[in-house]
Amino acid sequence: MKQRDVVVHSGRLVDPAAGLDAERDLLLRDGRVAAVEMPGGLRALQETELVDAGGCIVAPGLIDLHVHLREPGQAWKETIATGTRAAAKGGVTTVVAMPNTLPVNDSVETLAWMLAPERDAAVRLLAMPAATRGSLGAELTDFAGLVRAGAVGFTDDGKPILEDGIMRAALVSAAREGVLISQHAEDTRLTALTGGSSGVNAGALAFRLGLRGMTIEAEARLVERDIALLAEIERNEGLRPHLHVQHVSTARALAAIRAARQAGVHVTCEATPHHFTLTEDAVRGYDTNAKVNPPLRAAADRDAVIAGLLDGTVDCIATDHAPHAQHEKQVEFDRAPNGLTGLETSLGLALCALYREHGASIADIVTRMSTNPAALLNRSDLGTLAAGSAADIVIFDAGAEWTFTAGRSLSRSKNTPFDQALMLGRVRTTLVGGQVVYTDPDSAPS
Amino acid sequence: MVSAKATGPHSPGSLLSVEDLSIADVSTLLSLTSRLERMQHAERSQLLSGRRVALLFYESSTRTRTSFELAAKSLGITTTLVSDKSSSIEKGESLKDTGLTLRALGAECIILRHQHSGAPVLLERVTGLPVLNAGDGTHEHPSQALLDLRTILTRLPGLERDVVDARSLAGITIVITGDILHSRVARSNAMLLPRLGARVILCGPKELLPEEAFGLGANVEIERNFDRALDGANVIMMLRIQRERLAGLELDLTGYMAHFQLSQDRLRTHAPHALVMHPGPMIRGLEIAGEIADGPQSAIEDQVRHGLAVRSALLLRALASADETRRLAGEVRL
């Protein structure tokens, strides 16, 4: 049956890719944006479904480059179905699934299983398979075959691609396929000495808590190594590899990225909402929901991440949504797994911290959460609502304050340090391919 | 700014960290300790008669376990000991489930020693019971800091033992030397004693005393030269090198002993009148000369005795009402 046309009207369209921040009405047809018109310009159309966006921002749906959906293999934490419903509630219309599943997503078979309709994804699902077999860091996966099967990049996330030679080969192969390498930047040769992925920043607080901290050097040194590789490959191979640095958390790594950009190599990076809102103080009471890798840092590093978001050094906001069951997190701090959920709080935290407190514009927020991530994936049909692009839309009330309650999350897991935190900007409706995938029950139009 | 949910202790009788105690709380505990010490056995053993306390020990212990147990028994408390060996902990039972089981069996308070920092916070949160931290990982050992405080107040001349304020240890210099990195005793003492006016000097090599130790608080200094640290010290606390926690760290023991052992020569030259303390277990001939441990400046056995007394007060605070605790503590001042 043919899908009915949808008209989204009365909202303020913020579409940085199209250079638009103005009142516009949208016509959605066959999963795409068919027309962008002045307010009221689509009134004459018959037989359309109307979505009233009065008082709200209408923006291209958010794109989250870094989520853990735990399937296959760890369905007690999350499934593709539950994780993508949490995404829809958060206004996220595209998620990129990380490969640290069981088994590791390192083959065309596993990738196809993840992307199959039977997984019942509520939003657009993309995947970055492992760069090395089993993410063991030794042997590259079949980049060409995986890209044909839908891979949008490669990563061994959860772990770094550590060996110089393997990282170099991964960057070269990815460049040939026209995709990026997304690096979890942690020099585990340094962190192994201090107790592995400790989940807490090295420094006075970690000392006082009797926890082994993770140093700034562990992140910065690997970023610096990777940037050196990019430059060397450009010189010697005539290729232009794209390095994407995940969840950057330190001023020093940001400085390296900023300098590399100026030098002209292709490096991009993401920051998580928890790294630009919280500091290491959140683990003061041994709260395992604030245990994350890289760890929450001191205020100076948190402020550097904010500055990087404001000056454009940080290209995008990604959540590193990492669900864990209560029984896994409700243990001694050292024994708890790293990670926290984030899909339902990313927009609310970005608006709170960057828009309200630091003066970023709504367009800046949309740029970091939709426009730029689409560009990193070379997806010109996403991250914009220009005519012809995918009808993936988030409609949100940018002025609405609300309190997040972890217990009401659609994720299967509730491991978040933001339970009962104040959010700004309420998602009213989320559409993917022109279809409503989420409607705020508190604001459903009568 | 966005803030994460605060998680503090729920139970007023708990002692998880010395930071949980105000100076007034410390004063009350010291008064209570003296009162209990003086009380006739028959009266004392009625105070908490029939109450139930579990000792949950994930690490071996001689002093702490025995003194908590004897302190509890002297108050009439029924105790049970659960250790990681010979319990379902060996079979993989979690701390949460072990705690809930003890609560279901009637435990009204749990005394916990655990190899992971922060474990008492978790146990208190999941059981809602008062928890007494008997040493958690490399974090804290708050009852040790209290017994060390009482030892200092008793042994140094001219100090009031039962009532303290922010000036009680003014002018007193306390040197803590050795494996600070792994020492929960050092952390608790360095966080408590400066609040009473003491100057605390931490001493040790970089591997065992990182610069981050500054963060323990105001009035905490680092001095890497042991001789210099000892000059003017009123109290010297020596610490064992915790080989079980070194985790691959290589340490030159001969060099360590040359620089940081409390030898008879060193003590005689630099601190001939200072009080010498050690929380135990002590390795004679490594961090401390055996003769010093047995000598007139040593307060090591006093520390153990004060441990018994202070832990009685902590148990009373954990199980009696706040009014009852204050009433008993207040009696000594009349």
Q: Do B121 and A422 touch (CB under 8 A)?
A: no
Nearest to B59 by CA among B182, B146, B145: B182
Domain membership flag for residue B61: yes
Copy the structure tokens of residue A280: 């290491």
A287 carries an active-site annotation: no
Yes or no, beta carbons of B117 and A210 under 8 Å apart: yes
> pLDDT tens digit string along B190-229?
999 999 999 999 999 999 999 999 889 888 999 999 999 9
Q: Assign residue B120 the CATH number of its domain.
A: 3.40.50.1370
- In the DSSP assignment, the letter for residue A354 is I
B287-308 mean pLDDT: 96
How far is A433 from B280, CA to CA, in rounded Å?
Answer: 68
- What are the C-alpha distances in Å from A291 to residues A306, A318, A331? 20, 17, 12
Candidate list A226, A320, A392, A397, residue with the active-site label: A320
In this structure, the answer to whether residues B155 and B290 fall within a common structural domain is yes
**Which domains does chain A show, CATH number per domain?**
60-376 (3.20.20.140)
With beta carbons under 8 A apart, name residues in chain B contacting A358: none
pLDDT in the model for residue B10: 66
Query: Helix H segments across chain B?
Result: 23-38, 41-44, 63-74, 95-104, 119-127, 142-155, 184-192, 226-230, 253-260, 264-270, 290-294, 300-319, 322-330
pLDDT tens for each residue of A408-434: 999 999 999 999 999 999 999 999 999
Distance CA A398, CA A379 (A): 26
Determine the structural domain holding residue B269 and report its residue range: 142-303
226-255 in chain B: CB under 8 A from chain A = 247-248
pLDDT of residue B3: 46
Asked whether the predicted pLDDT for residue A70 surpasses 60, the reply is yes
CA–CA gap between residue A352 and residue A345 (Å, rounded): 10
Cα-based distances in Å from A285 to A280, B85, B100, B124, B190: 11, 28, 21, 12, 19
| Position B133 confidence tier, pLDDT thresholds 50, 70, 90 | very high
In a domain, B89, yes or no: yes
CB contact under 8 A, B215 and A334: no
Residue at B1 is within a domain: no
Cis peptide bond prior to B281, omega within 30° of 0: yes
Domain contains B8: no
Cα A62 to Cα A124, A179, A322, A382, A393, distances in angstroms: 11, 20, 18, 9, 8
Residues B103 and B117 in one domain: yes
Q: Are residues B54 and B77 in the same domain?
A: yes
Residue A352 has pLDDT above 90, yes or no: yes
Whether residue B111 lies inside any domain: the answer is: yes
Residue B91: band (very low, low, confident or very high) from pLDDT cuts 50, 70, 90:
confident
To the nearest whole angstrom, how far is the Cα of B244 from the nearest Cα of chain A?
Answer: 14
Give the model's pLDDT for residue A192.
65
Q: Which residues of chain A have a CB within 8 Å of the CB of B181?
A: 207
Report the candidate in B235, B238, B230 with the shortest Cα–Cα distance to residue B297: B235
Q: How far does the CA of residue B6 sit from the closest CA of chain A (Å)?
A: 7
In a domain, B9, yes or no: no
Whole-angstrom Cα distance, residue B192 to residue B177?
Answer: 17
Q: How many domains, chain B?
A: 2
Mean pLDDT value across residues A183-200: 78
- Read off the pLDDT of residues A131-187 as tens digits, 9 standing for 90 and up: 999 999 999 999 999 999 999 999 999 899 999 999 999 999 999 999 999 999 999
Sheet of strand B220-222: strand arrangement? B220-222, B199-203, B173-177, B235-238, B275-277
Q: Would an 8 Å CB–CB cutoff place B97 in contact with chain A?
A: no
Residue A363: its H or E element: helix A362-366
Query: By the 8 A CB rule, do A324 and A330 touch?
Result: no
Residues of A in contact with B121 (CB under 8 A): 285-286
B290 and B191 inside one domain: yes
- Assign B332 a pLDDT band (cuts: 50, 70, 90): very low
Q: Is residue B10 part of a domain?
A: no
Predicted pLDDT of residue B325? 86
Interface test with B, best of A211, A281, A286 (most B CBs within 10 A): A286
User: What are the backbone dihedrals phi and psi of residue A39, each rounded to the nearest 5 degrees, phi first?
Assistant: -55, 130
A211 and B118 within 8 Å at the Cβ level: the answer is yes
Neighbours of B28 (CB within 10 A): 23
Residues 176-235 of A with CB under 8 A from B: 193, 195, 202-211
User: Nearest by CB to B216, which of A208, A285, A333?
Assistant: A208
Are B276 and B133 in a shared domain? no
Considering the domain boundaries, does residue B60 fall inside one? yes
What is the tens place of the pLDDT at every residue in B301-311?
A: 999 999 999 99
| pLDDT confidence of residue B331 | 52
Give the pLDDT band of residue B248 (cuts 50, 70, 90).
Answer: low
Mean pLDDT of A380-394: 98
Interface contacts (A, B; CB < 8 Å): 97
pLDDT value for A195: 54
The reported pLDDT for the residue numbered B330 is 81
Q: Clarify whether residues B176 and B204 are in a common domain.
A: yes
Tell me if ipTM is over 0.90.
Answer: yes
CB contact under 8 A, B7 and A327: no
Q: Is B136 on the interface with A (CB under 8 A)?
A: yes
Residue B7, pLDDT > 60, answer: no
- B233 and B294, same domain (yes or no): yes
